[in-house]
Amino acid sequence: MRHRGVTVWFTGLSGAGKTTIAERVEGQLRLLDCKVETLDGDVVRTNLSKGLGFSREDRDTNIRRIGFVSHLLTRNGVIVLSAAISPFRNVRDELRSLIGDFVEVYVSTPLEVCAGRDVKGLYKRAMAGEIPQFTGVSDPYEPPLAPELTLDTLSQTADESAEEILRWLREHDYIDGAAHYETAPGRSRPVSVVW
Amino acid sequence: MRHRGVTVWFTGLSGAGKTTIAERVEGQLRLLDCKVETLDGDVVRTNLSKGLGFSREDRDTNIRRIGFVSHLLTRNGVIVLSAAISPFRNVRDELRSLIGDFVEVYVSTPLEVCAGRDVKGLYKRAMAGEIPQFTGVSDPYEPPLAPELTLDTLSQTADESAEEILRWLREHDYIDGAAHYETAPGRSRPVSVVW
């Protein structure tokens, strides 16, 4: 599968759906035999940023490290899916400049919805004051001003969000527009069609 | 240029010649249009490991981070040149298991020669007690027991060492044996020959 390196940079609150959507995108890109790596916030905190906390400085360091690795992979032709909260606009903009082939995807799920889902039970603890500096509760989140894509997880499923990203990548020639995957149950191999 | 992902893991004392040789290898691989990334110890300390010290634990963390990044790049087809001291055998062996396509290159320059060169002036300071935990002086270095290559920088030039590594990569089918580079002055493009 012909494709170019690019970093798809998800940003949004904890529980917004970043990792879920990234996993769907990764699965579909693997069906297309693309080189793809997902850098999930939790995985990165284990492998690159153990010991860092959640102060502004430590958050910026964590995000810059993900950006450094994304940069290395992207310039070697890999499609990188970064799924960390990355709350601060200036660091995201800095990484956009560094990486070049950079698609900012804002997963815009509102705070009350994320807190209502509360998949990891973190919002409950944050609102009880047990987690200091929790993004959206006791720490700021700065939404992107001009993201390439804004995903509304209230009106679409994770698969639909993933398809929106794949469409963007096709339209901007990061992946080959002639290849198409088939989502019907029972099919696990991509089907090539002419669009 | 057809090639496979692999991590070339240099190990040796400070001043042994790891970065110099890695740069020559990188230059030659670029002439062959290979995808290649050099992870120099100092660059990594800036971008991945700022804040880490030189305790055994911090050194291990630093090396594991380089290994994590090497792993991501290697499994996506990149030739990674890692040039950090990496003094401890067990962490190198751990990374060998993780990465799989792993070539350990021991740059065996003896301590007295490294200290005599003292390019960065670090040995002088270490021997004066100004740098605690300096590998080879006040901190251990564990040479590899079965490296794929041992380079003797006393009997060969950096270019000869680099050529030894390229030959190993060719013989083990990491780079295409049919491609050859030309080192004669005035030539900057690779020349293809049948061997």
- More confident: A42 or B142: B142
State mean pLDDT over A119-127: 95
Q: Helices (DSSP H) in A32-157: which residue ranges? A: 41-47, 56-74, 89-99, 111-117, 122-127
State mean pLDDT over B24-42: 95
Q: Extract the tokens encoding B27.
A: 């230059």
State mean pLDDT over B150-155: 97
Closest-CA distance of chain B to residue A37, Å: 8
Of A49, A70, A82, A86, which is the active-site residue? A86
Q: Is the pLDDT of residue A188 over 90?
A: no
Smallest CA–CA distance from A65 into chain B, residue: B48
Q: Is the pLDDT of residue A151 over 90?
A: yes
Question: Could you report the per-residue pLDDT of B87-121, keeping only the tens digit for each?
Answer: 999 999 999 999 999 999 999 999 999 999 999 99
Percent of the residues in chain B that have a pLDDT greater than 90, as a whole number: 81
Q: How confident is the model at residue A184 (pLDDT cuts 50, 70, 90)?
A: very low
Q: How confident is the model at residue B51 (pLDDT cuts 50, 70, 90)?
A: confident
**pLDDT attached to residue A178:** 62
Of B49, B86, B108, B161, which is the active-site residue? B86
Q: Which residues in A lie closer than 8 A to residue B51 (C-beta atoms)? A: 51, 61
Q: Which residues in B lie closer than 8 A to residue A64 (C-beta atoms)? A: 47
ipTM of the complex: 0.87
Q: Extract the tokens encoding A38.
A: 């997902």
Largest CA distance in chain B: 55
Closest-CA distance of chain B to residue A151, Å: 28
The CA distance from A110 to A14, in Å, is 10
- Those residues whose C-beta lies under 8 Å from the C-beta of residue A55, and which sit 6 or more positions away, are A133
Q: Provide the Cα torsion A136, A142, A146, A149; round to 10°.
A: -30
Q: Is the pLDDT of residue B187 over 50?
A: no
**pLDDT attached to residue A118:** 94
Strand partners, B190: none
Closest-CA distance of chain B to residue A68, Å: 7
Contact A191, A181 (CB under 8 A): yes
Q: Could you give the C-alpha distances from B151 to B100, B141, B179, in angstroms and in order?
A: 22, 16, 24
Q: What is the pTM of this model?
A: 0.89
Looking up tokens 């430590």, which residue turns up?
A58
Interchain CB contacts (distance < 8 Å): A and B: 40
State mean pLDDT over A153-177: 96
Q: Is the pLDDT of residue B186 over 90?
A: no
Is A76's CB within 8 Å of B72's CB? no
**pLDDT attached to residue B45:** 87
**pLDDT attached to residue B71:** 98
Q: Kindly tell me the sign of the dihedral angle through the C-alpha atoms of B29, B30, B36, B40.
A: positive
Q: Could you give the C-alpha distances from B88 to A108, B12, B56, B67, B145, in angstroms and in order?
A: 46, 10, 9, 13, 12
Interface of B with A in 27-86 (CB under 8 A): 35, 37, 47-48, 50-51, 61, 64-65, 68-69, 72-73, 76-78
Question: Could you report the per-residue pLDDT of B124-144, keeping only the tens digit for each?
Answer: 999 999 999 999 999 999 999
**N residues, chain A:** 195
**pLDDT attached to residue B146:** 97
DSSP character at residue B7: E
- Mind listing the domains of chain B with CATH numbers? 6-192 (3.40.50.300)
The CA distance from A160 to A174, in Å, is 19
State mean pLDDT over B41-49: 87
Q: Is the pLDDT of residue A154 over 70?
A: yes
**pLDDT attached to residue A147:** 98
Q: Which of B50, B68, B77 sits opposite A61 (nearest CB)?
A: B50
Percent of the residues in chain A that have a pLDDT greater than 90, as a whole number: 81
**pLDDT attached to residue B180:** 55
Q: How confident is the model at residue B25 (pLDDT cuts 50, 70, 90)?
A: very high
**pLDDT attached to residue B177:** 73
Instruction: Determine whether B192 is an active site residue.
Output: no
Closest-CA distance of chain B to residue A61, Å: 9
DSSP character at residue A3: B
Task: Using the CB atoms, write b or e for A21-36: b if 16+ within 10 Å.
Answer: bbbbbbebbebbebbb
Q: Which residues in A lie closer than 8 A to residue B65 (C-beta atoms)? A: 47-48
Smallest CA–CA distance from A39 into chain B, residue: B72
Q: Which residues in A lie closer than 8 A to residue B48 (C-beta atoms)? A: 48, 65, 68-69
Calculate the average pLDDT of chain B.
90
Q: Is the pLDDT of residue B54 over 50?
A: yes
DSSP character at residue A51: T
- More confident: B176 or B23: B23
